[in-house]
Structure 1
Amino acid sequence: MKNLLLPFMLLLVLLMSACSNQSTEQEKEAPKKAEKTADTITYESENGPIEVPADPERVIMLSGYTGDVIHLGVNIVGVDVWSKNNPTFAEELKEVEEVSDESLEKIIELEPDLIIAGSTSKNIDKLSEIAPTVTYTWGKVDYLTQHLEIGKVLNKEKEAQEWIDDYKVRAEAAGEEIRAKIGEEATVTVIEGYDKQLYVFGDNWARGTEILYQSMKLKMPEKVKEMALAEGYYTLSAEVLPEYAGDYIVFSKYADADSSFQETETYKNIPAVKNNRVFEMDGNGASFTDPVTLEKQLAFFKEHFLNN
């Protein structure tokens, strides 16, 4: 009997040892598996904490932050009309559906796992029932902080911060180069003609103003500073444009807008016009301040200021 019991006991010890080793290996792997299977993160939105996908794959954009999401490489399945018609995003959004905050059935069909909207969007409660919905108030934070916030909600904060740091260095370096060429005291005016109105802009109203005035530290004419800096923009008539015109003019121009003022003697006699220092850029898409747009505008300014 003892001879039979000995092999049995030995086998039992071996089995218990194997189970113990397997259990230890499983415990070692447990944190890794938990890390991989964690499918949500908590994002601190302006309306409080909200659970969002850790790796969103089907995002609906109902705001002006589409370029931020594109730049971070996250898949978009639906966008607002302004983003859809933005030529800067034409290639990336070619197959993406156009939606609005009222096309709820269409949004449901697209099966989003995250919706990003503006704080003034309609049907926020109903959208929240379809997928986690994060809203932002336009202009509540500066354009670079906004990109970082988009990075956080997409769980790509590191990538967003890396781009911000790199962009700031490159934009400031471009500004130094441009100022060295045109002079430290040279002034720049940003204008736009839209819907039969003429506008001049301050330093934080897109159209490249953040790059020109904030990053590049180019100077703004005193009249522009007086009338447009506080509100961000100012509506004026073509007759008084010479009072606001700097040594250089950046013209955000729409092909279908009334630009007949450019044929007047008042306009033609502006020094920047006479000296061929008016740089026309496409108004379509110029009102965005995301990385895709900023990179495009940065290249535009370097080309025109340095090669003029």
Structure 2
Amino acid sequence: MKKLLFIPFVLLFALVSSACSNGSTEKQDNATPDEKKADTVIYESENGPIEVPADPQRVILLSGFTGNVIDLGVNVVGVDVWSKMNPTFEEELQDVEEVSDENLEKIIELDPDLIIGLSTTKNIDKLSEIAPTVTYTWGKVDYLTQHVEIGKLLNKEKEAQAWVDDFTSRAEAAGEEIRAKIGEDATVSVIEVFDKQLYVFGDNFARGTEILYQAMKLKMPEKVKEMALKDGYYAISTEVLPEYMGDYVIMSKYADADYSFQETDTYKNIPAVQHNRVFEMTGNGASFSDPITLERHLEFFKDSFLNN
């Protein structure tokens, strides 16, 4: 008897479900233009409001923000040459195409739904005809604010802000631990040889400088502060290098750069060198300031300073 009573209820449920399904389909087919735009949002960019996808699926990056997008879990289909060459992203970008702002045909083939570039990117008008194109001025905002901005663009502001809050807390705690070990007045320099030129860096030019000087509150030598703080970097000769070397030194090294200066007496007599306080890290990829790169830099600094 119970089985017989069950059959009508099943049939009734099926009919109701079918009716609801048909009604839902009809509602979707008859959606107004405003309702169909629910899959887009307005992003307030540097150059004004831009309509972008609410859930971008095919992003092309013509900038240095690749790690920011990857960290937020958004699919990337094309990147600039520097991102493609970056060993930090080797695994994530293995099947991603290399593109440029001058190769519009390649970009069209990749069928992006969002393009992210810099204010200096070429052909922005033509790129905007292919997909919504948002550009940023490099260095206009700090590295943490930049990540939150990209989070807003990708409709992942909460995730971006959560990482910023967590990373800031961990970096500041590491800074306190490091200063307790090396001393509050100990100075740190960041140097690099690129294209046969030696550079020293300020507090906002990647290579981990944002972490060291801003988050960890480590001190830079007065000479570095005087010459490199404003522009972010300063080119120097090997002869004056001792003037810019702190008690501790981070050296960003490229495999193909000329490091013959390390064999000179000038270099060998620098106190940081004599006390084994020069910490060498890979230069390739160090010029980025995205969450993936920053996490690696934070671990490198903690290990270098605390386990030295």
Superposition TM-score, scaled by structure 2 size? 0.89
Partner of 1:221: 221
Q: Within 2, Cα distance between the matches of 1:159 and 1:306?
A: 30
Partner of 2:38: 38
Q: Within 2, Cα distance between the matches of 1:72 and 1:261?
A: 41
Partner of 1:279: 279
The answer to whether structure 1 residue 95 and structure 2 residue 95 are counterparts is: yes
Q: Identify if the C-alpha distance between structure 1 residues 136 and 88 changes in structure 2 by more than 3 Å, giving closer, same or farther.
A: same
SS state of the match for residue 281, structure 2?
A: strand
Q: 1:112-123 counterparts in 2 under 5 A? A: 112-123=112-123
Deviations 1:46-102 (A, max 9, x none): 000000000000000000000000000000000000000000000000110000001
SS state of the match for residue 258, structure 2?
A: coil
SS state of the match for residue 38, structure 1?
A: helix
Identity percentage of aligned residues: 79
Q: Identify if the C-alpha distance between structure 1 residues 131 and 263 changes in structure 2 by more than 3 Å, giving closer, same or farther.
A: same
The answer to whether structure 1 residue 143 and structure 2 residue 143 are counterparts is: yes
Letter in 1 for 2:96: V
Q: CA deviation at 1:36?
A: 10
Partner of 2:233: 233
Superposition TM-score, scaled by structure 1 size? 0.89
The answer to whether structure 1 residue 73 and structure 2 residue 73 are counterparts is: yes
Q: Within 2, Cα distance between the matches of 1:90 and 1:68?
A: 15
Letter in 2 for 1:97: E
Q: 1:256-295 counterparts in 2 under 5 A? A: 256-295=256-295
Q: Within 2, Cα distance between the matches of 1:211 and 1:235?
A: 22
Q: Within 1, Cα distance between the matches of 2:65 and 2:35?
A: 29
Q: Within 2, Cα distance between the matches of 1:226 and 1:105?
A: 46
Partner of 1:194: 194
Q: Which runs of 5+ in 2 are unaligned?
A: 1-15
Q: Within 1, Cα distance between the matches of 2:151 and 2:82?
A: 21
Q: Within 2, Cα distance between the matches of 1:149 and 1:87?
A: 25
Q: Within 2, Cα distance between the matches of 1:306 and 1:84?
A: 33
Deviations 1:139-181 (A, max 9, x none): 1111111001100110000000000000000000000010111
Deviations 1:125-146 (A, max 9, x none): 1100100000111011111110
Q: Identify if the C-alpha distance between structure 1 residues 36 and 290 changes in structure 2 by more than 3 Å, giving closer, same or farther.
A: farther
SS state of the match for residue 235, structure 2?
A: strand
Partner of 2:4: none
Q: Within 2, Cα distance between the matches of 1:100 and 1:131?
A: 15
Q: CA deviation at 1:230?
A: 1.1
Q: Within 1, Cα distance between the matches of 2:218 and 2:205?
A: 15
Letter in 2 for 1:248: Y
Q: Identify if the C-alpha distance between structure 1 residues 40 and 227 changes in structure 2 by more than 3 Å, giving closer, same or farther.
A: same
Q: Within 1, Cα distance between the matches of 2:140 and 2:158?
A: 22
Q: Identify if the C-alpha distance between structure 1 residues 50 and 161 changes in structure 2 by more than 3 Å, giving closer, same or farther.
A: same
RMSD over aligned Cα, in angstroms? 2.0
Letter in 2 for 1:79: V
Q: CA deviation at 1:294?
A: 0.3
Q: CA deviation at 1:39?
A: 0.6
Q: CA deviation at 1:231?
A: 1.3
Q: CA deviation at 1:37?
A: 7.8
Deviations 1:203-259 (A, max 9, x none): 111111000000000011111111111111111001111011100000011110111
Q: Within 1, Cα distance between the matches of 2:107 and 2:294?
A: 29
Q: Within 1, Cα distance between the matches of 2:302 and 2:246?
A: 18
